């Protein structure tokens, strides 16, 4: 039986509270072959938003391969739009939708059968900041790296090689040394100024972690913590796999 993100998050959260430790991959859709062609599930999505968010919604749905079927302007300041969108495109949609509409939008989706595969859907344009070694995250290293993106971990939190510690401001993943310590030249310097100039980390819920994780990432859930990590922890093997995948795509093209 298929389950949505919220149902999966509730199930995983319940298991976590019962003391289980588990690793969860990104939610995937169940495809089927019809007449030899790959088909995927699609859904009828109805969106009600204030008029000012019309452009943002059209852009958001286009990126997720949604096709507009109908649009009605009620002349009350609200617009109703109906889309046919692949179920894949609705993974991670809720958070982005609420952010784009400033919490005012209403969305309802219902299954509409299967349609031919719509192609690649890029739902996340930013890469990940990945710890390149095990250790304790230091304020010194985080201050030096905070221009590169936003963090998910606190200073003094333990990290390990292959753990996703933040979101990169660019599209590709970046291995970072978040455990680098300041070389002590004298003992007068206080560390209090370091904590003050550090941007607070972004705390992701279990549901947001499932939305954030890419195909090569997974969510590690334990009774104490929820972390995002790479499926392959070794950076060298990850780099080899990426280049092999790129070559395969070039040959296919």
Q: Are residues 65 and 148 in the same domain?
A: no
Strands 174-176 and 128-131: parallel
Average pLDDT over residues 131-138: 92
pLDDT at position 122 is: 79
DSSP state of 240: H
Interval 58-91: pLDDT, tens? 999 998 999 999 999 878 889 999 999 999 888 8
Whole-number average pLDDT of the chain: 87
CA distance 105 to 78: 10
Interval 169-216: pLDDT, tens? 888 889 999 998 887 766 555 555 555 578 889 998 888 888 888 888
Helix axis angle for 93-100 and 54-63, nearest 10°, is 160
User: Is 96 within the bounds of a domain?
Assistant: yes
19, pLDDT greater than 60: yes
Average pLDDT over residues 21-31: 88
Exposure string over 93-111, b if 16+ CB within 10 A, otherwise e: bbebbeebbeeebebebee
pLDDT at position 192 is: 52
Domain housing 52: 40-116
User: Is 28 within the bounds of a domain?
Assistant: no
Q: Which of the pair, 81 or 7, is modelled with greater confidence?
A: 81
Q: Which residues contact 40 (CB under 8 A, 6 or more apart)?
A: 29, 31, 86, 87, 88, 114, 115, 116, 117, 118
Task: Find residue 184's DSSP bridge partners.
Answer: none
CA distance 203 to 188: 33
Residue 83 sits in a domain whose CATH number is 3.30.70.240
User: Is 67 within the bounds of a domain?
Assistant: yes
Q: pLDDT confidence of 118, banded at 50, 70, 90? A: confident
User: Is 11 within the bounds of a domain?
Assistant: no
Q: Are residues 112 and 133 in the same domain?
A: no
Domain boundary among 66, 81, 116: 116
User: Is 134 within the bounds of a domain?
Assistant: yes
CA distance 66 to 62: 5
123, pLDDT greater than 80: no
User: Is 94 within the bounds of a domain?
Assistant: yes
Q: pLDDT confidence of 49, banded at 50, 70, 90? A: very high
Q: Are residues 107 and 138 in the same domain?
A: no
Q: Which of the pair, 191 or 45, is modelled with greater confidence?
A: 45
pLDDT at position 246 is: 79
Percent of the chain with pLDDT over 70: 93
Q: Are residues 178 and 73 in the same domain?
A: no
Q: Are residues 229 and 199 in the same domain?
A: yes
Report the number of distinct structural domains present in the chain.
Answer: 2
Picking from 33-37, 149-153, 233-237, which range would have the lowest pLDDT averaged per residue? 233-237
Query: How many CB atoms neighbour CB 221 within 10 A?
Result: 21
pLDDT at position 245 is: 80
């Amino acid at each position: 039986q298929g389950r949505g993100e919220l149902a999966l998050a509730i199930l995983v959260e319940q298991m976590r509270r019962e003391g289980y430790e588990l690793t969860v991959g990104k939610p995937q859709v169940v495809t089927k072959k019809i007449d030899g062609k790959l088909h995927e599930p699609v859904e009828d999505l109805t969106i009600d938003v204030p008029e000012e968010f019309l452009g943002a919604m059209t852009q958001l749905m286009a990126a997720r391969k949604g096709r507009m079927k109908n649009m009605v302007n009620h002349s009350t300041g609200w617009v109703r739009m109906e889309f046919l969108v692949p179920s894949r495109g609705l993974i991670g949609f809720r958070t982005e939708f609420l952010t784009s509409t400033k919490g005012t939008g209403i969305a309802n989706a219902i299954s509409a059968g299967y349609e031919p595969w719509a192609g690649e859907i890029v739902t996340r344009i930013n890469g990940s900041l990945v710890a390149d070694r095990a250790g304790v995250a230091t304020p010194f290293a985080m201050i030096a790296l905070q221009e590169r993106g936003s963090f998910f971990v606190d200073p003094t939190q333990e990290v390990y090689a292959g753990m996703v510690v933040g979101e990169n401001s660019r599209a590709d993943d970046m291995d970072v040394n978040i455990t680098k310590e300041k070389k002590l030249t004298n003992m007068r310097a206080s560390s209090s100024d370091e904590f003050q100039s550090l941007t607070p980390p972004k705390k992701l819920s279990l549901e947001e972690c499932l939305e954030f994780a890419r195909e090569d990432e997974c969510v590690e859930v334990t009774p104490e913590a929820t972390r995002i990590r790479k499926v392959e922890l070794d950076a060298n093997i990850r780099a080899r796999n990426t280049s092999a995948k790129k070559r395969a795509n070039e040959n296919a093209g």
